[in-house]
């Protein structure tokens, strides 16, 4: 009897174990089927095109470019957005383009992001060889000069010919180029690379109203053209003062504004205006009109005498900037202290040109109508803060982001420097920049990459 009880108990234990295993297998099968069902529901490649387009329109610039790498269907939507230019990524803050000459004529290029404070290096260098130089930017286009790709003048003979460099707009994302005239007749010999200190465009090259103005380095003349002109038009100005030069230029609504200064003590003297749009309509060279004269009498300094600033080892930097939406022309003065190991910006003073009884005058302002000014030696652009995305402190209106490479001194090597000036509070904050291992003659300018 005991044997039968033991046998029955053993059989029940074995049967329960088999039942448990069967139950577990059934649960695992159900779970696998559920997982497989969920995976099918989460098939990213099956998302409807309308939803993908909605996602694409909500992405930042960097994520927008990565969108096409997910899968085939996403890449198709990405390519369609490029073809039809819709949807487009959310507006982002410009990047600081840095390039510098290295040994063996190699130019190293970096892009610094204010959002994450990182330096990015393109897989394919923007510039290859020391012959390419960037002198400006507009709407995702870089304004370039190629000193090696010289063109022969069509009117020159074989025995007496002239060579000219190539000027062009370049969008590095799709590698698109729009050529500018190369013929440029100047009455003196000059290094083509150092001939211009800035190239300014009124709009992208795809606009029929695009104008390009060039500021000669250390001279008192400018050049201008349109993308499809045969040659540049040079404006020669009779200058009775050998110490007076053109310091900066700005294009606004078809007019070129020129800031003049004297070389001794770098004192600004006047703002001239040339109506380039009217010159094309009338087929006559534009003539200078004095917008404001004796600027030094209207600019206020904390120091009672500008010479005192110079003698105290300070330098003054003047720039023009404009807001194409409001049509306001600004004058920016920056006072830099050279009494330290690295130059320190001590003061930002901003003026706008306003009319009082039809007389243009400088008026000091404490805001930019909610805009953000990105300023460098090569370019200046005002962007409405309401159109940007990012951290609130970064995209707050009435801020100035100033990037500059100061002249070399024995105590200060050539290093680019970025500062943020808040016009509301008056604070000046230095933004650390990763050491990009600069070579000789570094250059920096603000650039907003775009596919179009």
Paired residues of 403 in beta bridges: 418
Task: Please tell me the distance from the alpha carbon of residue 404 to that of residue 399, in angstroms, as a whole number.
Answer: 16
pLDDT digits (tens, 9 = 90+) for 324-380: 999 999 999 998 888 877 788 989 999 999 988 888 999 999 999 999 999 998 899
Retrieve residue 445's tokens: 């300018």
Q: Which residues neighbour 286 within 8 Å (Cβ) at sequence distance 6 or greater?
A: 235, 256, 274, 275, 276, 278, 279
Count Cβ atoms below 10 Å from residue 304 Cβ, excluding itself.
8
Task: Tell me whether residue 43 is exposed, middle or buried, using C-beta atoms within 10 angstroms of its C-beta: 0 to 12, 13 to 18, 19 or more.
Answer: exposed
CA–CA gap between residue 158 and residue 450 (Å, rounded): 43
Q: Is 69 exposed, middle or buried (0-12, 13-18, 19+ CB in 10 A)?
A: exposed
Alpha-carbon distances, residue 100 vs 126, 283, 388 (angstroms) = 11, 41, 29
Please choose, from the candidates 347, 350, 291, 300, the residue with its C-alpha nearest in 3D space to the C-alpha of residue 320.
350
Q: What is the DSSP string of 105-119?
A: G-EEEEEEETTTTEE
Residue whose C-alpha is closest to residue 296's, from 346, 362, 359: 362
Tens digits of per-residue pLDDT, 379-412? Answer: 999 999 988 887 888 899 999 999 988 765 555 5
Tens digits of per-residue pLDDT, 123-152? Answer: 766 666 557 788 999 988 999 988 775 555
**Residue 407 backbone phi and psi in degrees, to 5:** -55, 150
**Max avg pLDDT among 33-37, 95-99, 407-411:** 95-99
Q: Is the peptide bond before 35 cis (omega within 30 degrees of 0)?
A: no
- The residue ranking higher by pLDDT, 283 or 301, is 283
Tokens of 89: 């990524």
């Amino acid at each position: 009897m005991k044997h039968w009880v033991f046998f029955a108990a053993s059989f029940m234990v074995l049967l329960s174990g088999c039942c448990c295993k069967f139950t577990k297998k059934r649960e695992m099968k159900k779970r696998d089927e559920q997982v497989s069902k969920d995976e099918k529901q989460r098939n990213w490649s099956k998302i409807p095109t309308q939803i993908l387009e909605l996602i694409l329109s909500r992405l930042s610039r960097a994520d927008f470019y990565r969108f096409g790498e997910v899968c085939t269907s996403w890449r198709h939507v990405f390519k369609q957005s490029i073809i039809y230019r819709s949807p487009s990524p959310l507006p982002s803050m410009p990047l600081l383009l840095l390039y510098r000459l290295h040994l063996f004529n190699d130019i190293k290029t970096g892009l610094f992001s204010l959002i994450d404070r990182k330096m990015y290096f393109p897989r394919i260098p923007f510039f290859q060889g020391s012959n390419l130089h960037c002198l400006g930017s507009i709407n995702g286009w870089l304004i370039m000069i190629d000193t090696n790709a010289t063109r022969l003048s069509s009117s020159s003979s074989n025995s007496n010919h002239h060579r000219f460099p190539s000027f062009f707009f370049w969008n590095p994302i799709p590698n698109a180029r729009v050529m500018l005239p190369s013929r440029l007749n100047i009455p003196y010999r000059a290094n083509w690379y150092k001939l211009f200190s800035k190239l300014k465009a009124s709009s992208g090259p795809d606009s029929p109203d695009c104008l390009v103005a060039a500021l000669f380095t250390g001279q008192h003349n400018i050049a201008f053209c349109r993308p499809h002109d045969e040659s540049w038009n040079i404006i020669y100005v009779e200058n009775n003062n050998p110490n007076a030069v053109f310091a900066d230029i700005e294009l606004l609504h078809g007019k070129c504004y020129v800031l003049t200064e004297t070389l001794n003590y770098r004192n600004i003297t006047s703002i001239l205006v040339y109506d380039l749009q009217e010159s094309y309509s009338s087929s006559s060279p534009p003539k200078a009109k004095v917008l404001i004269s004796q600027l030094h009498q209207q600019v206020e300094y904390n120091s009672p005498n500008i010479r005192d600033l110079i003698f105290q080892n300070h330098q003054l930097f003047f720039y023009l900037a404009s807001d194409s939406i409001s049509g306001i022309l600004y004058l920016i003065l920056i006072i830099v202290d050279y009494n330290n190991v690295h130059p320190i910006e001590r003061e930002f003073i901003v003026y706008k040109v306003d009319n009082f009884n039809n007389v243009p005058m400088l008026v000091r302002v404490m805001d930019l109508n909610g805009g953000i000014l990105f300023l460098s030696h090569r370019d200046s652009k005002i962007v409405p803060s309401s159109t940007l995305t990012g951290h609130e402190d970064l995209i707050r209106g009435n801020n100035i982001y100033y990037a500059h490479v100061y002249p070399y001194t024995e105590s200060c090597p050539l290093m680019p420097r970025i500062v943020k000036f808040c016009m509301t509070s008056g604070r000046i904050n230095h933004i650390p920049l990763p050491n990009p291992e600069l070579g000789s003659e570094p250059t920096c300018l603000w650039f907003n990459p775009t596919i179009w």
